[in-house]
Chain A
Amino acid sequence: MLKRTLHAFITAAKGLSLTLKHLFAARKAREELDIKQENYFEKQQGVTTIQYPKQEIPIPEIARYQLDVEIDDCIVCDLCAKACPVDCIDIEAIKATEVIGKTSDGSVKRLYAAKFDIDMAKCMYCGLCTVVCPTECITMTDNYDRSFAKLSDLVYEFSEMSEAEIEEKRAALARSQAEKEAAKRK
Protein backbone atom coordinates (compact mmCIF):
# COMPACT_ATOMS: atom_id res chain seq x y z
CA MET A 1 0.00 0.00 0.00
CA LEU A 2 2.74 2.41 1.02
CA LYS A 3 4.75 1.50 -2.06
CA ARG A 4 1.78 2.13 -4.32
CA THR A 5 1.05 5.46 -2.66
CA LEU A 6 4.65 6.52 -3.07
CA HIS A 7 4.57 5.40 -6.69
CA ALA A 8 1.41 7.45 -7.24
CA PHE A 9 3.11 10.55 -5.84
CA ILE A 10 6.24 10.05 -7.92
CA THR A 11 4.28 9.60 -11.15
CA ALA A 12 2.09 12.59 -10.30
CA ALA A 13 5.19 14.70 -9.76
CA LYS A 14 6.60 13.50 -13.08
CA GLY A 15 3.39 14.45 -14.85
CA LEU A 16 3.31 17.84 -13.18
CA SER A 17 6.88 18.61 -14.19
CA LEU A 18 6.02 17.63 -17.76
CA THR A 19 2.99 19.92 -17.91
CA LEU A 20 4.94 22.69 -16.21
CA LYS A 21 7.61 22.36 -18.90
CA HIS A 22 4.96 22.70 -21.59
CA LEU A 23 3.40 25.63 -19.74
CA PHE A 24 6.64 27.58 -19.98
CA ALA A 25 7.49 26.29 -23.45
CA ALA A 26 4.26 27.93 -24.65
CA ARG A 27 6.04 31.29 -24.75
CA LYS A 28 7.05 30.60 -28.33
CA ALA A 29 5.19 29.13 -31.27
CA ARG A 30 6.65 26.43 -33.49
CA GLU A 31 9.04 27.99 -35.94
CA GLU A 32 8.46 26.12 -39.18
CA LEU A 33 5.05 25.57 -40.76
CA ASP A 34 6.18 24.40 -44.19
CA ILE A 35 6.74 20.65 -44.23
CA LYS A 36 8.83 20.98 -47.41
CA GLN A 37 11.59 22.73 -45.47
CA GLU A 38 14.51 20.51 -44.59
CA ASN A 39 14.60 20.79 -40.78
CA TYR A 40 10.82 20.94 -40.35
CA PHE A 41 10.73 18.26 -37.67
CA GLU A 42 13.41 19.90 -35.52
CA LYS A 43 11.41 23.13 -35.30
CA GLN A 44 8.15 21.79 -33.88
CA GLN A 45 8.55 22.81 -30.21
CA GLY A 46 6.07 25.24 -28.67
CA VAL A 47 2.49 26.18 -29.40
CA THR A 48 1.07 24.30 -32.36
CA THR A 49 -2.09 26.38 -32.80
CA ILE A 50 -2.47 28.05 -36.18
CA GLN A 51 -4.76 31.05 -35.93
CA TYR A 52 -6.26 30.27 -39.25
CA PRO A 53 -7.50 33.34 -41.04
CA LYS A 54 -4.50 35.33 -39.81
CA GLN A 55 -1.97 32.58 -40.26
CA GLU A 56 -1.89 29.78 -42.80
CA ILE A 57 0.07 26.61 -43.38
CA PRO A 58 1.83 26.76 -46.77
CA ILE A 59 0.21 24.34 -49.21
CA PRO A 60 1.29 23.05 -52.63
CA GLU A 61 0.26 25.23 -55.54
CA ILE A 62 -1.81 22.47 -57.12
CA ALA A 63 -3.29 20.06 -54.64
CA ARG A 64 -6.70 18.51 -54.27
CA TYR A 65 -8.66 21.62 -53.46
CA GLN A 66 -11.42 23.43 -55.34
CA LEU A 67 -11.83 22.98 -59.11
CA ASP A 68 -11.42 25.69 -61.64
CA VAL A 69 -12.26 25.61 -65.37
CA GLU A 70 -10.62 27.73 -68.04
CA ILE A 71 -13.68 27.83 -70.24
CA ASP A 72 -11.85 29.28 -73.26
CA ASP A 73 -9.73 26.12 -73.43
CA CYS A 74 -12.67 23.77 -73.00
CA ILE A 75 -13.77 21.73 -76.04
CA VAL A 76 -16.93 20.54 -74.19
CA CYS A 77 -16.00 16.89 -74.72
CA ASP A 78 -17.94 15.87 -71.57
CA LEU A 79 -15.14 13.49 -70.48
CA CYS A 80 -14.86 15.10 -67.07
CA ALA A 81 -18.58 14.69 -66.44
CA LYS A 82 -18.33 11.02 -67.44
CA ALA A 83 -15.27 10.45 -65.25
CA CYS A 84 -16.81 12.06 -62.19
CA PRO A 85 -17.73 9.34 -59.66
CA VAL A 86 -20.31 11.53 -57.93
CA ASP A 87 -21.75 13.23 -61.03
CA CYS A 88 -21.14 16.71 -59.78
CA ILE A 89 -20.30 18.14 -63.19
CA ASP A 90 -23.26 19.11 -65.36
CA ILE A 91 -22.48 20.01 -68.96
CA GLU A 92 -24.86 20.99 -71.71
CA ALA A 93 -23.34 21.27 -75.20
CA ILE A 94 -24.70 22.89 -78.34
CA LYS A 95 -23.19 21.84 -81.63
CA ALA A 96 -21.75 24.71 -83.57
CA THR A 97 -22.50 25.02 -87.27
CA GLU A 98 -18.81 25.46 -88.03
CA VAL A 99 -15.46 25.46 -86.18
CA ILE A 100 -15.55 28.10 -83.44
CA GLY A 101 -11.88 28.45 -82.79
CA LYS A 102 -8.91 26.80 -81.22
CA THR A 103 -7.84 26.26 -77.64
CA SER A 104 -4.45 27.38 -76.41
CA ASP A 105 -2.98 23.90 -77.10
CA GLY A 106 -4.37 23.75 -80.62
CA SER A 107 -7.43 21.54 -80.21
CA VAL A 108 -10.35 22.51 -82.42
CA LYS A 109 -13.52 23.71 -80.69
CA ARG A 110 -16.77 22.56 -82.32
CA LEU A 111 -19.21 22.78 -79.39
CA TYR A 112 -20.59 25.61 -77.35
CA ALA A 113 -20.76 25.10 -73.58
CA ALA A 114 -24.25 26.31 -72.81
CA LYS A 115 -23.92 25.06 -69.27
CA PHE A 116 -20.83 24.02 -67.30
CA ASP A 117 -21.78 23.66 -63.63
CA ILE A 118 -19.73 22.01 -60.91
CA ASP A 119 -21.54 21.30 -57.66
CA MET A 120 -18.85 21.77 -55.01
CA ALA A 121 -21.17 20.38 -52.36
CA LYS A 122 -21.06 17.04 -54.13
CA CYS A 123 -17.43 17.13 -55.26
CA MET A 124 -15.23 14.66 -53.40
CA TYR A 125 -11.95 16.16 -54.63
CA CYS A 126 -10.70 12.97 -56.26
CA GLY A 127 -9.16 14.84 -59.18
CA LEU A 128 -10.26 12.29 -61.82
CA CYS A 129 -11.78 15.01 -64.01
CA THR A 130 -8.45 16.81 -64.23
CA VAL A 131 -6.76 13.60 -65.36
CA VAL A 132 -9.08 12.87 -68.26
CA CYS A 133 -9.32 16.41 -69.58
CA PRO A 134 -7.64 16.43 -73.02
CA THR A 135 -6.93 20.16 -73.01
CA GLU A 136 -6.12 20.44 -69.29
CA CYS A 137 -8.66 23.19 -68.89
CA ILE A 138 -10.14 21.77 -65.66
CA THR A 139 -7.66 22.04 -62.80
CA MET A 140 -7.55 21.90 -59.05
CA THR A 141 -6.48 25.14 -57.39
CA ASP A 142 -4.98 25.99 -54.02
CA ASN A 143 -8.24 27.54 -52.88
CA TYR A 144 -9.83 25.55 -50.05
CA ASP A 145 -11.66 27.98 -47.79
CA ARG A 146 -14.84 29.04 -49.53
CA SER A 147 -18.03 29.14 -47.51
CA PHE A 148 -21.49 30.29 -48.50
CA ALA A 149 -24.77 31.07 -46.83
CA LYS A 150 -26.81 29.27 -49.47
CA LEU A 151 -26.30 25.73 -50.73
CA SER A 152 -27.02 26.83 -54.30
CA ASP A 153 -24.01 29.16 -54.16
CA LEU A 154 -21.82 26.06 -54.03
CA VAL A 155 -22.73 25.27 -57.65
CA TYR A 156 -20.00 27.00 -59.60
CA GLU A 157 -21.07 28.11 -63.07
CA PHE A 158 -18.24 28.36 -65.56
CA SER A 159 -20.18 28.91 -68.78
CA GLU A 160 -19.86 32.45 -70.05
CA MET A 161 -22.74 32.39 -72.48
CA SER A 162 -25.79 34.54 -71.90
CA GLU A 163 -29.37 33.31 -72.36
CA ALA A 164 -29.73 35.23 -75.60
CA GLU A 165 -26.52 33.77 -77.01
CA ILE A 166 -27.67 30.26 -76.13
CA GLU A 167 -31.00 30.84 -77.84
CA GLU A 168 -29.25 32.20 -80.90
CA LYS A 169 -26.87 29.22 -81.17
CA ARG A 170 -29.77 26.80 -80.68
CA ALA A 171 -31.73 28.49 -83.43
CA ALA A 172 -28.66 28.44 -85.71
CA LEU A 173 -28.19 24.72 -85.07
CA ALA A 174 -31.88 24.02 -85.74
CA ARG A 175 -31.69 26.02 -88.95
CA SER A 176 -28.61 24.19 -90.25
CA GLN A 177 -30.09 20.83 -89.29
CA ALA A 178 -33.31 21.70 -91.11
CA GLU A 179 -31.25 22.70 -94.14
CA LYS A 180 -29.37 19.38 -94.05
CA GLU A 181 -32.63 17.47 -93.71
CA ALA A 182 -34.02 19.33 -96.63
CA ALA A 183 -30.86 18.62 -98.65
CA LYS A 184 -31.08 14.94 -97.77
CA ARG A 185 -34.69 14.72 -98.87
CA LYS A 186 -33.94 16.09 -102.28
Chain B
Amino acid sequence: MNFYIIYILVAIILFSFLAAFTLFAVYAERKVAGFVQDRLGPMETGKFGSLQTIADILKLLQKEFISPANSDKLLFAAAPVVVFVAVYLGFAAMPWAPDLAPAALNLGLFYVIAIISIEAIGVLMAGWGSNNKFSLLGSLRAVAQIVSYEIPAGLALIAAVMITQTLNMQELTINQGVLSNERLLFLGLWDVSKVGGFLAWNIFQAPHLMLAYIIYFIASLAECNRAPFDIPEAESELVSGYHTEYGGLRFAFFFLAEYCMMFLVSMIGVVLFLGGWNTPLPNIGTVKLAEWTTGMWWGIAWILIKTLLIVGLQILIRWTLPRLRVDQLMSLCWKVLTPLAFLCMAISGVWRIMVMVG
Protein backbone atom coordinates (compact mmCIF):
# COMPACT_ATOMS: atom_id res chain seq x y z
CA MET B 1 0.00 0.00 0.00
CA ASN B 2 2.77 2.36 1.01
CA PHE B 3 4.52 2.26 -2.33
CA TYR B 4 1.36 3.48 -4.08
CA ILE B 5 1.56 6.62 -1.99
CA ILE B 6 5.20 6.97 -2.95
CA TYR B 7 4.36 6.52 -6.64
CA ILE B 8 1.73 9.23 -6.47
CA LEU B 9 4.01 11.50 -4.47
CA VAL B 10 6.84 11.08 -7.00
CA ALA B 11 4.43 11.85 -9.83
CA ILE B 12 3.17 14.96 -8.08
CA ILE B 13 6.69 16.16 -7.30
CA LEU B 14 7.75 15.62 -10.91
CA PHE B 15 4.69 17.41 -12.22
CA SER B 16 5.15 20.39 -9.93
CA PHE B 17 8.79 20.57 -10.89
CA LEU B 18 7.89 20.52 -14.57
CA ALA B 19 5.19 23.16 -14.14
CA ALA B 20 7.60 25.38 -12.21
CA PHE B 21 10.30 24.78 -14.82
CA THR B 22 7.90 25.72 -17.62
CA LEU B 23 6.90 28.96 -15.90
CA PHE B 24 10.56 29.79 -15.38
CA ALA B 25 11.59 28.75 -18.90
CA VAL B 26 8.89 30.82 -20.58
CA TYR B 27 10.00 33.84 -18.57
CA ALA B 28 13.65 33.12 -19.35
CA GLU B 29 12.85 32.66 -23.02
CA ARG B 30 11.09 36.01 -23.23
CA LYS B 31 13.88 37.73 -21.33
CA VAL B 32 16.60 36.17 -23.51
CA ALA B 33 14.63 37.08 -26.62
CA GLY B 34 14.43 40.64 -25.36
CA PHE B 35 18.07 40.96 -24.43
CA VAL B 36 19.29 39.40 -27.67
CA GLN B 37 17.27 41.95 -29.62
CA ASP B 38 18.34 44.86 -27.36
CA ARG B 39 14.91 45.01 -25.75
CA LEU B 40 13.93 44.49 -22.12
CA GLY B 41 11.28 41.76 -22.36
CA PRO B 42 8.44 41.69 -19.83
CA MET B 43 8.89 44.45 -17.24
CA GLU B 44 5.46 45.45 -15.93
CA THR B 45 4.13 42.49 -13.91
CA GLY B 46 6.12 42.23 -10.72
CA LYS B 47 9.73 43.25 -10.30
CA PHE B 48 11.41 42.97 -13.73
CA GLY B 49 8.26 41.23 -14.98
CA SER B 50 8.95 38.18 -12.83
CA LEU B 51 5.25 37.47 -12.28
CA GLN B 52 4.46 37.67 -15.99
CA THR B 53 4.21 33.93 -16.61
CA ILE B 54 2.13 33.41 -13.47
CA ALA B 55 -0.27 36.04 -14.76
CA ASP B 56 -0.26 34.27 -18.13
CA ILE B 57 -1.09 30.88 -16.67
CA LEU B 58 -3.84 32.39 -14.49
CA LYS B 59 -5.34 33.90 -17.61
CA LEU B 60 -5.14 30.58 -19.46
CA LEU B 61 -6.71 28.70 -16.53
CA GLN B 62 -9.72 30.98 -16.48
CA LYS B 63 -10.46 30.69 -20.17
CA GLU B 64 -13.40 28.80 -21.60
CA PHE B 65 -12.94 25.52 -23.52
CA ILE B 66 -13.79 26.28 -27.12
CA SER B 67 -14.08 23.51 -29.70
CA PRO B 68 -14.50 24.55 -33.33
CA ALA B 69 -17.92 23.55 -34.75
CA ASN B 70 -16.65 20.98 -37.26
CA SER B 71 -13.80 19.60 -35.18
CA ASP B 72 -13.51 15.97 -34.16
CA LYS B 73 -14.46 16.55 -30.52
CA LEU B 74 -12.81 13.44 -29.10
CA LEU B 75 -9.46 13.82 -30.88
CA PHE B 76 -9.49 17.55 -30.26
CA ALA B 77 -9.91 17.12 -26.51
CA ALA B 78 -7.54 14.15 -26.19
CA ALA B 79 -4.63 15.56 -28.20
CA PRO B 80 -3.14 17.92 -25.57
CA VAL B 81 -3.39 15.18 -22.96
CA VAL B 82 -1.63 12.65 -25.20
CA VAL B 83 1.11 15.12 -26.10
CA PHE B 84 1.77 16.08 -22.51
CA VAL B 85 1.48 12.59 -21.01
CA ALA B 86 3.92 11.20 -23.61
CA VAL B 87 6.56 13.71 -22.55
CA TYR B 88 5.72 13.45 -18.86
CA LEU B 89 6.07 9.65 -18.87
CA GLY B 90 9.51 10.06 -20.37
CA PHE B 91 10.68 11.51 -17.06
CA ALA B 92 9.89 8.22 -15.31
CA ALA B 93 13.24 6.72 -16.27
CA MET B 94 15.47 9.75 -15.87
CA PRO B 95 18.16 9.52 -13.19
CA TRP B 96 18.49 12.54 -10.92
CA ALA B 97 21.26 11.46 -8.54
CA PRO B 98 23.03 8.27 -7.37
CA ASP B 99 20.20 5.84 -6.47
CA LEU B 100 17.60 8.50 -7.20
CA ALA B 101 15.36 7.87 -10.21
CA PRO B 102 11.58 7.49 -10.40
CA ALA B 103 12.09 4.06 -11.97
CA ALA B 104 15.40 2.25 -12.57
CA LEU B 105 14.52 0.50 -15.80
CA ASN B 106 16.94 -1.85 -17.51
CA LEU B 107 15.62 -0.64 -20.83
CA GLY B 108 15.46 2.96 -19.64
CA LEU B 109 16.80 4.72 -22.72
CA PHE B 110 14.76 2.55 -25.08
CA TYR B 111 11.65 3.28 -23.03
CA VAL B 112 12.25 7.03 -23.08
CA ILE B 113 12.82 7.17 -26.82
CA ALA B 114 9.78 4.98 -27.45
CA ILE B 115 7.48 6.98 -25.19
CA ILE B 116 8.40 10.39 -26.56
CA SER B 117 7.67 9.16 -30.09
CA ILE B 118 4.02 9.03 -29.02
CA GLU B 119 4.07 12.80 -28.98
CA ALA B 120 3.94 12.68 -32.78
CA ILE B 121 0.58 10.88 -32.58
CA GLY B 122 -0.78 13.53 -30.24
CA VAL B 123 0.36 16.26 -32.61
CA LEU B 124 -1.33 14.50 -35.53
CA MET B 125 -4.51 14.12 -33.44
CA ALA B 126 -4.47 17.84 -32.70
CA GLY B 127 -3.99 18.77 -36.35
CA TRP B 128 -6.61 16.36 -37.68
CA GLY B 129 -9.09 16.99 -34.88
CA SER B 130 -9.01 20.77 -35.38
CA ASN B 131 -10.33 20.41 -38.94
CA ASN B 132 -8.34 23.44 -40.00
CA LYS B 133 -5.97 23.55 -42.95
CA PHE B 134 -3.23 25.34 -41.02
CA SER B 135 -3.44 22.89 -38.14
CA LEU B 136 -3.38 19.92 -40.46
CA LEU B 137 -0.43 21.26 -42.46
CA GLY B 138 1.42 22.01 -39.25
CA SER B 139 0.83 18.59 -37.80
CA LEU B 140 1.81 16.86 -41.04
CA ARG B 141 5.06 18.80 -41.04
CA ALA B 142 5.57 18.03 -37.36
CA VAL B 143 5.11 14.31 -37.81
CA ALA B 144 7.34 14.18 -40.89
CA GLN B 145 9.99 16.08 -38.99
CA ILE B 146 9.80 14.15 -35.71
CA VAL B 147 9.81 10.77 -37.44
CA SER B 148 12.76 11.75 -39.65
CA TYR B 149 14.86 13.25 -36.89
CA GLU B 150 14.35 10.32 -34.58
CA ILE B 151 16.67 8.34 -36.84
CA PRO B 152 19.85 10.45 -36.44
CA ALA B 153 18.97 11.10 -32.80
CA GLY B 154 18.51 7.40 -32.12
CA LEU B 155 21.69 6.46 -33.98
CA ALA B 156 23.70 9.06 -32.09
CA LEU B 157 22.36 7.69 -28.81
CA ILE B 158 23.19 4.14 -29.89
CA ALA B 159 26.76 5.28 -30.53
CA ALA B 160 26.98 6.23 -26.85
CA VAL B 161 25.18 3.09 -25.72
CA MET B 162 27.71 0.95 -27.62
CA ILE B 163 30.49 2.53 -25.58
CA THR B 164 28.79 2.00 -22.20
CA GLN B 165 27.07 -1.28 -23.13
CA THR B 166 23.86 -0.61 -21.21
CA LEU B 167 20.44 0.94 -21.75
CA ASN B 168 19.91 1.56 -18.04
CA MET B 169 20.08 5.32 -17.58
CA GLN B 170 21.42 4.98 -14.04
CA GLU B 171 24.27 2.64 -15.12
CA LEU B 172 24.96 4.86 -18.11
CA THR B 173 25.58 7.70 -15.69
CA ILE B 174 27.60 5.68 -13.18
CA ASN B 175 29.95 4.63 -16.00
CA GLN B 176 30.93 8.26 -16.49
CA GLY B 177 32.30 9.08 -13.07
CA VAL B 178 34.20 8.03 -9.98
CA LEU B 179 31.53 5.59 -8.81
CA SER B 180 32.22 3.30 -11.78
CA ASN B 181 33.67 -0.19 -11.30
CA GLU B 182 34.89 -0.33 -14.87
CA ARG B 183 38.10 1.00 -16.35
CA LEU B 184 37.40 4.46 -17.84
CA LEU B 185 39.89 5.85 -20.33
CA PHE B 186 40.18 9.55 -21.16
CA LEU B 187 40.40 9.69 -25.00
CA GLY B 188 41.15 5.97 -24.84
CA LEU B 189 44.62 6.58 -23.41
CA TRP B 190 44.62 7.59 -19.76
CA ASP B 191 42.88 5.63 -17.00
CA VAL B 192 40.62 8.12 -15.21
CA SER B 193 38.50 5.67 -13.16
CA LYS B 194 39.83 7.23 -9.97
CA VAL B 195 40.06 10.78 -11.32
CA GLY B 196 36.54 11.25 -12.59
CA GLY B 197 35.25 14.73 -13.24
CA PHE B 198 34.61 15.88 -16.79
CA LEU B 199 37.50 13.68 -17.97
CA ALA B 200 35.32 10.60 -17.52
CA TRP B 201 32.29 11.92 -19.42
CA ASN B 202 31.34 9.92 -22.48
CA ILE B 203 32.27 12.68 -24.90
CA PHE B 204 35.81 12.66 -23.47
CA GLN B 205 36.06 8.90 -23.09
CA ALA B 206 35.52 8.55 -26.83
CA PRO B 207 36.03 11.80 -28.74
CA HIS B 208 33.85 10.83 -31.70
CA LEU B 209 30.91 11.06 -29.29
CA MET B 210 31.35 14.83 -29.44
CA LEU B 211 30.19 14.61 -33.04
CA ALA B 212 27.45 12.22 -31.94
CA TYR B 213 26.36 14.72 -29.31
CA ILE B 214 26.21 17.54 -31.83
CA ILE B 215 24.10 15.35 -34.10
CA TYR B 216 21.87 14.43 -31.19
CA PHE B 217 21.56 18.07 -30.13
CA ILE B 218 20.51 19.21 -33.61
CA ALA B 219 18.07 16.33 -33.95
CA SER B 220 16.65 17.00 -30.50
CA LEU B 221 15.97 20.62 -31.48
CA ALA B 222 13.94 19.28 -34.38
CA GLU B 223 12.12 16.82 -32.13
CA CYS B 224 10.98 19.64 -29.83
CA ASN B 225 9.78 21.60 -32.88
CA ARG B 226 11.99 24.49 -31.90
CA ALA B 227 13.64 27.06 -34.12
CA PRO B 228 15.48 26.71 -36.44
CA PHE B 229 13.30 23.65 -37.00
CA ASP B 230 9.96 25.17 -36.06
CA ILE B 231 8.23 24.69 -39.40
CA PRO B 232 5.29 22.89 -37.70
CA GLU B 233 4.53 26.10 -35.84
CA ALA B 234 5.89 28.55 -38.41
CA GLU B 235 4.04 31.65 -37.28
CA SER B 236 4.60 33.50 -40.52
CA GLU B 237 3.15 30.68 -42.65
CA LEU B 238 0.78 28.58 -40.56
CA VAL B 239 -0.66 30.95 -37.93
CA SER B 240 0.71 28.70 -35.19
CA GLY B 241 0.53 25.23 -36.69
CA TYR B 242 -1.15 22.32 -34.99
CA HIS B 243 -2.34 24.27 -31.93
CA THR B 244 -3.95 27.10 -33.91
CA GLU B 245 -7.46 26.21 -32.70
CA TYR B 246 -6.52 25.65 -29.08
CA GLY B 247 -7.02 28.05 -26.23
CA GLY B 248 -7.11 28.11 -22.47
CA LEU B 249 -5.94 25.12 -20.49
CA ARG B 250 -5.61 22.90 -23.55
CA PHE B 251 -3.21 25.34 -25.12
CA ALA B 252 -1.38 25.55 -21.80
CA PHE B 253 -0.85 21.80 -21.96
CA PHE B 254 0.72 22.06 -25.41
CA PHE B 255 2.99 24.75 -24.07
CA LEU B 256 3.83 22.68 -21.01
CA ALA B 257 4.59 19.69 -23.23
CA GLU B 258 6.85 21.78 -25.46
CA TYR B 259 8.95 23.06 -22.58
CA CYS B 260 9.02 19.69 -20.79
CA MET B 261 10.20 18.18 -24.07
CA MET B 262 13.03 20.71 -24.19
CA PHE B 263 14.04 19.73 -20.68
CA LEU B 264 13.69 16.01 -21.37
CA VAL B 265 15.77 15.93 -24.55
CA SER B 266 18.43 18.10 -22.92
CA MET B 267 18.46 15.75 -19.95
CA ILE B 268 18.81 12.66 -22.17
CA GLY B 269 21.75 14.33 -23.90
CA VAL B 270 23.31 15.21 -20.55
CA VAL B 271 22.88 11.68 -19.19
CA LEU B 272 24.30 9.97 -22.26
CA PHE B 273 27.10 12.32 -23.22
CA LEU B 274 27.80 14.88 -20.52
CA GLY B 275 28.05 12.71 -17.43
CA GLY B 276 24.52 13.00 -16.07
CA TRP B 277 24.62 13.72 -12.36
CA ASN B 278 28.40 13.28 -12.23
CA THR B 279 30.46 16.23 -11.13
CA PRO B 280 32.59 18.05 -13.70
CA LEU B 281 35.35 18.52 -11.09
CA PRO B 282 38.10 15.86 -11.22
CA ASN B 283 40.17 14.48 -8.33
CA ILE B 284 43.52 16.24 -8.39
CA GLY B 285 46.01 14.28 -6.30
CA THR B 286 44.92 14.55 -2.68
CA VAL B 287 42.27 17.18 -3.49
CA LYS B 288 39.41 14.75 -3.99
CA LEU B 289 37.05 17.26 -5.67
CA ALA B 290 35.15 14.56 -7.53
CA GLU B 291 34.44 12.52 -4.42
CA TRP B 292 33.53 15.56 -2.36
CA THR B 293 31.04 16.75 -4.94
CA THR B 294 29.27 13.45 -5.53
CA GLY B 295 26.10 12.68 -3.61
CA MET B 296 22.37 13.02 -3.76
CA TRP B 297 22.02 16.80 -3.52
CA TRP B 298 25.19 17.37 -5.53
CA GLY B 299 23.81 15.00 -8.18
CA ILE B 300 20.51 16.85 -8.45
CA ALA B 301 22.37 20.16 -8.59
CA TRP B 302 24.80 19.01 -11.29
CA ILE B 303 22.17 17.49 -13.56
CA LEU B 304 19.96 20.56 -13.16
CA ILE B 305 22.82 22.94 -13.94
CA LYS B 306 23.92 20.97 -16.98
CA THR B 307 20.41 20.53 -18.31
CA LEU B 308 19.47 24.17 -17.79
CA LEU B 309 22.64 25.24 -19.60
CA ILE B 310 21.64 23.12 -22.59
CA VAL B 311 18.09 24.51 -22.41
CA GLY B 312 19.62 27.99 -22.37
CA LEU B 313 21.59 27.12 -25.49
CA GLN B 314 18.38 25.92 -27.15
CA ILE B 315 16.72 29.24 -26.29
CA LEU B 316 19.68 31.23 -27.61
CA ILE B 317 19.65 29.23 -30.83
CA ARG B 318 15.95 29.93 -31.28
CA TRP B 319 16.59 33.67 -31.19
CA THR B 320 19.64 33.47 -33.43
CA LEU B 321 19.00 31.22 -36.39
CA PRO B 322 16.32 31.65 -39.05
CA ARG B 323 13.87 28.87 -39.83
CA LEU B 324 14.84 26.16 -42.30
CA ARG B 325 12.71 25.34 -45.33
CA VAL B 326 11.02 21.93 -45.42
CA ASP B 327 13.36 20.57 -48.10
CA GLN B 328 16.44 21.96 -46.33
CA LEU B 329 15.22 20.36 -43.14
CA MET B 330 14.82 16.96 -44.76
CA SER B 331 18.10 17.12 -46.68
CA LEU B 332 19.94 18.08 -43.47
CA CYS B 333 18.42 15.10 -41.72
CA TRP B 334 18.83 12.44 -44.40
CA LYS B 335 21.93 13.58 -46.26
CA VAL B 336 24.07 14.97 -43.43
CA LEU B 337 23.00 13.89 -39.98
CA THR B 338 21.99 10.29 -40.71
CA PRO B 339 25.23 9.30 -42.54
CA LEU B 340 27.32 11.05 -39.86
CA ALA B 341 25.38 9.25 -37.14
CA PHE B 342 26.01 5.93 -38.88
CA LEU B 343 29.70 6.84 -39.05
CA CYS B 344 29.70 7.56 -35.31
CA MET B 345 28.04 4.24 -34.65
CA ALA B 346 30.67 2.41 -36.73
CA ILE B 347 33.50 4.22 -34.94
CA SER B 348 31.86 3.31 -31.61
CA GLY B 349 31.98 -0.37 -32.52
CA VAL B 350 35.63 -0.18 -33.54
CA TRP B 351 36.44 1.92 -30.46
CA ARG B 352 34.81 -0.59 -28.16
CA ILE B 353 36.72 -3.54 -29.64
CA MET B 354 40.10 -1.92 -30.38
CA VAL B 355 40.53 0.65 -27.61
CA MET B 356 38.36 -0.18 -24.65
CA VAL B 357 38.71 -3.97 -24.63
CA GLY B 358 42.04 -4.32 -26.39
Contacts and interface: CB of A to CB of B under 8 A. Distances in A.
A18 B35 CA distance: 12
Interface string B312-327: 0000110111000000
A161 interface: no
B316 A23 contact: yes
Contacts of B335: 1
A58 B1 CA distance: 71
Nearest to A2: B336
Contacts of A18: 320
Given A47-B38, A47-B40, A12 B316 contact: no
A5 B335 CA distance: 10
A172 B117 CA distance: 91
A123 B317 CA distance: 46
A51 B48 CA distance: 12
Contacts of B39: 47-49
Interface in B303-353: 316-317, 319-321, 335-336
Contacts of B319: 19
B35 A22 contact: yes
B336 A16 contact: no
A23 B32 contact: yes
A25 B316 CA distance: 14
Interface in B5-38: 32, 34-38
Contacts of B321: 12, 15
Contacts of A22: 35-38
A20 to B, nearest CB: 7
A54 to B, nearest CB: 10
A23 B336 CA distance: 31
B30 to A, nearest CB: 13
Interface in A80-126: none
Residue of B32, B35, B335 most packed against chain A (CB within 10 A): B35
A5 B336 contact: yes
Interface string A9-34: 00010011011101101100000000
B316 A20 contact: yes
A47 to B, nearest CB: 6
Given A22-B35, A23-B32, A49 B320 contact: no
B36 A23 contact: yes
A16 B38 contact: no
Contacts of B189: none
Contacts of B38: 22, 25-26, 46-49
A137 B321 CA distance: 56
B43 interface: yes
Contact of B36 (A19, A46, A51): A19
A49 B39 CA distance: 5
Nearest to A18: B320
Interface in A110-162: none
Interface string A31-62: 00000000000000011110100000000000
B316 A26 contact: no
Contact of A15 (B32, B35, B40, B320): B320
Residue of B39, B320, B321 most packed against chain A (CB within 10 A): B320
Nearest to B228: A12
A48 to B, nearest CB: 5
B40 A49 contact: yes
A104 to B, nearest CB: 45
A125 B150 CA distance: 60
Nearest to B336: A5
B316 A51 contact: no
Contacts of A51: 40, 43
Given A19-B36, A47-B39, A1 B336 contact: yes
Contacts of B35: 22-23, 26, 47
B321 to A, nearest CB: 6
B317 A16 contact: yes
Given A1-B336, A51-B43, A16 B36 contact: no
Residue of A1, A23, A47 most packed against chain B (CB within 10 A): A23
B315 to A, nearest CB: 10
A46 B317 CA distance: 20
A1 B321 CA distance: 20
A15 B318 CA distance: 11
Contact of A16 (B32, B40, B43, B316): B316
Interface string B31-62: 01011111110010000000000000000000
A49 B132 CA distance: 38
Contacts of A19: 36, 316, 319-320
Given A25-B38, A47-B39, 8 more contacts: A1-B335, A1-B336, A12-B317, A15-B321, A22-B36, A23-B316, A48-B39, A49-B38
Closest 8 CB pairs of A and B: A26-B35, A49-B40, A19-B320, A19-B36, A15-B320, A23-B35, A48-B38, A49-B39
13 contacts: A12-B321, A15-B320, A16-B317, A20-B316, A22-B36, A23-B35, A25-B38, A26-B40, A47-B35, A47-B39, A47-B40, A48-B38, A51-B40
